[in-house]
Amino acid sequence: MLKVEVKKLNGEKAEELELNQDVFGVEIKDELIHQIYVAQASNKRQVLAHTKNRSERKCSGKKPWKQKGTGRARAGTASSPIWRKGGVVFGPTNERNFKKKINKKMNQVAIKMALSGKLKDSELIVLADNNFSENKTKQAQATLIALGIKGSVLWAFDKNELGNKVASQNLEKVNNIFVENINVYDMLNNKYLLVTKEGIKNLEEKYGK
């Protein structure tokens, strides 16, 4: 039977929560998690580098000199790749596509594996709620200090906790996410996963058998 401590915002223990074995106790397969992580990283990649080929260079279309009789090599246009300020051959373009398809069932299993890994490594912290007395950054910072968290944190909120979410969005090494959007990429990029008791319930309903 899997159990985890539920803590208050001041770091004190509130209760113990029993977890669904099918969500937080699955066998971890690094190969699958790695496959999903790489695919999600590729889908987030922005294509910025772009070089212009000879058709994109703004050069005169006039032939630089006549074909024969000058003693120089033949030249058709000033946009030739062998000319200075000419087009670039085989350079990076913004037409590249790094998108990868992700199988829905594989993704769901990988998320359960990542959640199980967080629990196994004692990096899953469950809060009774996210109800700060004031929705201010200092309140969120005080919570992290009380919980003894040192390192990067993925703090999961429910849709109805938008005001609470604002309180932690300016903290260093803290990344905010809605519970329903939890994914392998963000969980692996942060040491701790901070989620409420209600959030755990939502995850178990979504990914449990």
Q: Which of 55, 135, 129 is nearest to 87 (CA)?
A: 55
Return the percentage of the chain with pLDDT > 70, whole number: 100
Q: Residues 24, 196, 129, CA angle at the centre, nearest 5°?
A: 160
pLDDT of 149 higher than 80 = yes
pLDDT of 165 higher than 90 = no
Average pLDDT over residues 7-16: 88
Average pLDDT over residues 78-87: 91
pLDDT of 102 higher than 90 = yes
Three-class HEC string of 62-114: CCCCCCCCCCCCCCCCCCCCCCCCCCCCCCCCCCCCCCCCCCHHHHHHHHHHH
CA distance 56 to 70: 28
- What residues have CB less than 8 Å from 177, skipping those under 6 apart? 154, 155, 156, 157, 186
pLDDT score recorded for residue 71: 94
- What residues have CB less than 8 Å from 8, skipping those under 6 apart? 14, 127, 128
pLDDT score recorded for residue 163: 75
Average pLDDT over residues 43-52: 92
pLDDT band for position 136 (50/70/90)?
confident
What dotted CATH number matches 2-45+99-207?
Answer: 3.40.1370.10
pLDDT score recorded for residue 175: 93
Average pLDDT over residues 123-134: 88
Contact present, 79 and 105 (Cβ < 8 Å): no
pLDDT tens sequence across 13-36: 888 999 999 999 999 999 999 999
Average pLDDT over residues 80-94: 91
- What residues have CB less than 8 Å from 107, skipping those under 6 apart? 36, 183, 184
Average pLDDT over residues 141-157: 92
97, two tokens: 């596509």
pLDDT band for position 11 (50/70/90)?
confident
Residue in the block written with tokens 């007395």? 133
pLDDT score recorded for residue 104: 94
Q: Which of 116, 105, 171, 107 is nearest to 138 (CA)?
A: 171
DSSP-assigned letter for residue 184 = H
DSSP-assigned letter for residue 7 = E
Q: Where in the chain is the domain with CATH 3.40.1370.10?
A: 2-45+99-207
Lowest-pLDDT range of 51-55, 95-99, 121-125, 166-170: 166-170
pLDDT of 192 higher than 80 = yes
CA distance 118 to 115: 5
pLDDT score recorded for residue 168: 86
**What Å distances lie between residue 187 and 41, 70, 172, 209, CA to CA?**
12, 67, 17, 22
pLDDT of 129 higher than 90 = no
